[in-house]
Amino acid sequence: MAAGNRDSRSRYLLSFGLLLALFVLLFLWNLNSGTVQLTPGEIAKILFTEGGDRTARPIVWEIRLPRILAAAILGGALAVSGFLLQTFFANPIASPFVLGISSGAKLTVALAMIVLLERGLTISSAGMVLAAFAGSMISMGFVLLISGRVRQMSMLVVCGVMIGYICSAITDFLVTFAEDSDIVSLHNWSLGSFSGTSWEQVKLSAAIVFACLVLTLFMAKPMGAYRLGEVYAQNMGVNLHRFRAALILVSSVLSACVTAFAGPVSFVGIAVPHLAKRLFGTSSPLVLIPGCFLGGSVFCLFCDRIARTAFSPAELSISSVTAVFGAPVVILIMAGRRKQAA
């Protein structure tokens, strides 16, 4: 269902070109920012040769590069997860954060961390992802239960936000009673941040996210049909049960992966798909899935750079920055819909 005419195709190419250029630019900008100033030449030397400054080399390879990749991969994952949920609920402000799915994942990860830390064990990356997945599926279950009863999209969002608050409250409760030493890492993580990402985590998240992305691309066709509503989609040959289950599963895995590694990150899931639709001028999933992914990467790279450097040396949580840039977009969406309805 990728649209046909030449105008739209060149617009897609241009938009992808723009996003790629921004991606490269932000990638380099992020690589080059921090307390240790490096020239582009030095960075190139560190990246492509064995040489380079002795102290700068580990900073680039062990701190900056994994963090940048994490921001890019997980940002993309969030945007795609949001796009899937918006398709599922036919609701433009559905996203893992708004529907309380991120908070559910946060709760179970916190629980797993505390339980394991008390026994003197550390939690592995895969364990984090599993815990997060369990949490996001539980939240998702509640959201689905509610969505079966309420037809109004605003009510669904309100319920999602409430689920989010409940999960956050329980998480806070757990954190309060946890051992002091645990709290530091838990607290940082629960605010959301890409800092301290290891290569192992990058590899695992890349594997999960790219697998999901491929699956999502295979769902592009039914997603395209689903834009006309479930009655028409079913008539055109979409197996609704299978399609819905796949959509929920993939979006939960994606948001679980993000929450496990970066904590809850707000607004990316809503803002990016919306901006991507505007940029590409289409809602065709085959275009928007890669578009959202790339857009999410760009958005998170940008926000992470701000989070690191705006009040350096103090670091902001990633969610505060994404909220500053993402929330206005949500307001615009709501305002735009009002206008359309009137």
Partner 1 sequence: MREDYIRTEQLAVGYGSQVLIRQIELHVKRGQIVTLIGPNGSGKSTILKSIIRHIRPLGGAVCLDGRSMKDMTEREIGRRMSILMTDRVRPEAMTCREVAAAGRYPHTGRFGILSREDRKKVDEALAMVQASDLADQEFARVSDGQKQRVLLARAICQEPEAIVLDEPTSFLDIRHKLELLEILKELVQKRRVAVLLSLHELDLAQKISDYVVCVNRGAVERCGTPEEIFTPDYMERLYGIEARRFNGAFCSAELEPAAGKPEVFVIGGNGSGIPVYRRLQRQGIPFAAGVLHENDGEYPVARALAARVIAERPFEPISREAFEEASRILQTCSQVICCLTEFGTMNEKNRQLARMGEEQNRRRSRTEEENRT
Region near partner 1 per CB under 8 A, out of 100-108, 216-224, 259-267, 298-306:
216-224
- Quick note: the x/- pattern for partner 1 over 77-96, rule CB under 8 A, is ---------------x----
Question: Minimum distance between the CB of residue 253 and partner 1, rounded to whole angstroms?
Answer: 21
In terms of CB distance, is 92 or 100 closer to partner 1? 92
Which whole-number Å values give the CA distances from 102 to 16, 58, 121, in the listed order?
28, 32, 24
Question: Minimum distance between the CB of residue 287 and partner 1, rounded to whole angstroms?
Answer: 11
Contacts for 169 with CB less than 8 Å, ≥ 6 apart: none
Contacts for 274 with CB less than 8 Å, ≥ 6 apart: 92, 329, 333
In terms of CB distance, is 2 or 25 closer to partner 1? 2
Q: Is the dihedral of CA 292, 297, 298, 304 positive or negative?
A: positive
Long-range contact pairs involving 7-11 (C-beta distance under 8 Å, separation at least 24):
8/281, 8/282, 11/280, 11/281
Q: Of residues 220-239, which lie at the interface with partner 1 (CB under 8 A)?
A: 220-221, 224-225, 227-232, 234-239
Question: Minimum distance between the CB of residue 332 and partner 1, rounded to whole angstroms?
Answer: 14
Q: Of residues 5-24, which lie at the interface with partner 1 (CB under 8 A)?
A: 5
Rounded to whole angstroms, the Cα distance separating 80 from 92 reads 13
Question: Minimum distance between the CB of residue 229 and partner 1, rounded to whole angstroms?
Answer: 6
Rounded to whole angstroms, the Cα distance separating 76 from 294 reads 6
Angle made by CA atoms 198, 115, 209, in degrees to the nearest 5? 35
Number of residues located near partner 1, criterion CB under 8 A: 31
Rounded to whole angstroms, the Cα distance separating 296 from 76 reads 4
Q: Of residues 99-158, which lie at the interface with partner 1 (CB under 8 A)?
A: none
Region near partner 1 per CB under 8 A, out of 50-58, 219-227, 305-313, 314-322:
219-227
DSSP string, 182-219: HHHHHHHHHH---TT--HHHHHHHHHHHHHHHHHHHHT
When asked if residue 41 is in the footprint of partner 1 (CB under 8 A), the reply is no
In terms of CB distance, is 224 or 264 closer to partner 1? 224
Alpha helices, H only, the chain:
6-31, 40-48, 56-58, 65-89, 101-118, 125-149, 153-176, 180-191, 199-218, 220-226, 230-236, 240-262, 268-280, 285-309, 318-341
Question: Minimum distance between the CB of residue 320 and partner 1, rounded to whole angstroms?
Answer: 29
Q: What angle in degrees, to the nearest 10, is found between the helix axes of 6-31 and 65-89?
A: 140
Question: Minimum distance between the CB of residue 158 and partner 1, rounded to whole angstroms?
Answer: 21
Region near partner 1 per CB under 8 A, out of 151-159, 213-221, 259-267, 324-332:
213-221
Q: Which of 19, 67, 3, 7 is nearest to 292 (CA)?
A: 19
When asked if residue 218 is in the footprint of partner 1 (CB under 8 A), the reply is yes
When asked if residue 314 is in the footprint of partner 1 (CB under 8 A), the reply is no
Region near partner 1 per CB under 8 A, out of 2-10, 100-108, 150-158, 308-316:
2-10
Question: Minimum distance between the CB of residue 73 and partner 1, rounded to whole angstroms?
Answer: 23
In terms of CB distance, is 196 or 281 closer to partner 1? 281
Q: What is residue 4's DSSP assignment?
A: -
Question: Minimum distance between the CB of residue 273 and partner 1, rounded to whole angstroms?
Answer: 10
Q: Of residues 271-310, which lie at the interface with partner 1 (CB under 8 A)?
A: 277, 281-284, 286
Rounded to whole angstroms, the Cα distance separating 184 from 173 reads 15
Question: Minimum distance between the CB of residue 244 and partner 1, rounded to whole angstroms?
Answer: 13
Interacting residue ranges for partner 1, rule: CB under 8 A? 1-5, 92, 217-218, 220-221, 224-225, 227-232, 234-239, 277, 281-284, 286, 340
